[in-house]
Every structure is written in structure tokens, then in C-alpha cells.
């Protein structure tokens, strides 16, 4: 009976890890597209913005940890006002899928993007957002301070 319980716990753990996993990411620069109005015409220019973005790729169906990542990220982004923002993309939607391909996010992924750099914080997010949100906030603030200062 103990072996059966152990096996069920192990299977549950692996199922959770698979549902919240991501593939190995590569660094790639990302620019923000800004629409500027010029002489009553709208033109789209790719511009490097000196603002950090917490970017979260997710699927439509989200677990409690996924929802915790969103709430902690929104809270931290608010404390940085005009220096950082929180952006999320649903990989089940066309826009999210396209952005995921641009940023090499094959699954649930969490990045800190600033200028040409992209820091993968997926592991930290999924390990701490629900079980230790204060630690996750501290990690985000430390990383944001490092790129913004």
C-alpha cells in the first residue's frame, strides 16, 4: 500500500511538472513596436524602449501557480510604475503563439526583457510564486533593479 501511495504521488508530481514545464530557451533580442502618429498618418517603427517588461507566456487553462505568477508580477510591476510593465500572452491565441515563436517560448515561460537582454525566470516563477510569493517578489525586484540601475 505504501508503494502504491508513493507511486501515485510520484506520478502526480511528474504530471504537474510536465503541465508547467518549458523547453530550453535561447537568447534573442526583442524590441517593442511603438505606433507613432506623424502628420495624421500612423507609422510603425521598431524602437528600443528603456523600460523593463515582465513577460509571461501561458495557456488558457491555468493552475494555481500560474495565477499566482500573474498576481505577484502585476503587483511588482505597479511598484516600478513607468520603469516596468507586466505583459502576458496566451499561447492558445494567434497573437500569443506568434510572440511565443519570436521569443522562443514553446510552453509556459516567464521572461524579464530589457533592451537586448532576455532573462529566463521561469524556474524561479514556478518554484516560488505560490509557495513563497515574498521570495518571488524579492527575486523580481533584485533582477529589475539590476537592469534598471
**Domain of 60: which CATH number?**
3.40.30.10
Spans in the chain with pLDDT lower than 70:
2-49
**Domain-embedded: residue 115:** yes
Domain contains 19: no
Whether 149 maps to a domain, the answer reads yes
Q: How far apart are the first and last CA of the chain?
A: 56
Closest CA to 54 of 101, 146, 119, 148: 119
Give the count of beta carbons closer than 10 Å to the beta carbon of residue 41. Answer: 7
| 130 occurs within a structural domain | yes
Q: Using N-to-C axis directions, what is the helix angle for 133-148 and 64-79, rounded to 10°?
A: 40
Is residue 44 one of the residues assigned to a domain?
Answer: no
Indicate the number of domains in the chain: 1
Look up the domain containing 99 and give its range: 50-149
pLDDT score at 149: 79
* 38 part of a folded domain: no
Residue 136 domain-assigned (yes or no):
yes
Q: What's this model's pTM, rounded to 2 decimal places? A: 0.64
Hey, is 11 helix, strand or coil?
helix
Among 28, 54, 149, CA closest to 109: 54
Does the residue 119 lie in any domain? yes
What is the pLDDT at residue 50?
72
Amino acid at each position: 500500500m505504501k508503494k502504491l501511495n508513493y507511486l501515485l504521488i510520484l506520478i502526480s508530481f511528474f504530471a504537474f511538472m510536465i503541465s508547467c514545464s518549458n523547453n530550453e530557451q535561447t537568447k534573442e533580442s526583442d524590441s517593442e513596436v511603438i505606433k507613432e502618429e506623424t502628420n495624421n498618418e500612423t507609422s510603425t517603427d521598431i524602437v528600443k524602449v528603456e523600460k523593463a517588461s515582465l513577460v509571461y507566456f501561458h495557456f488558457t487553462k491555468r493552475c494555481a501557480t500560474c495565477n499566482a505568477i500573474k498576481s505577484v508580477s502585476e503587483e511588482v510591476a505597479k511598484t516600478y510604475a513607468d520603469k516596468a510593465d507586466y505583459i502576458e500572452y496566451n499561447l492558445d491565441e494567434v497573437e500569443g503563439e506568434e510572440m511565443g515563436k519570436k521569443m522562443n517560448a514553446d510552453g509556459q515561460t516567464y521572461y524579464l526583457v530589457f533592451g537586448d537582454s532576455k532573462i529566463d525566470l521561469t524556474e524561479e516563477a514556478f518554484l516560488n510564486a505560490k509557495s513563497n510569493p515574498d521570495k518571488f517578489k524579492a527575486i523580481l525586484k533584485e533582477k529589475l533593479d539590476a537592469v534598471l540601475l
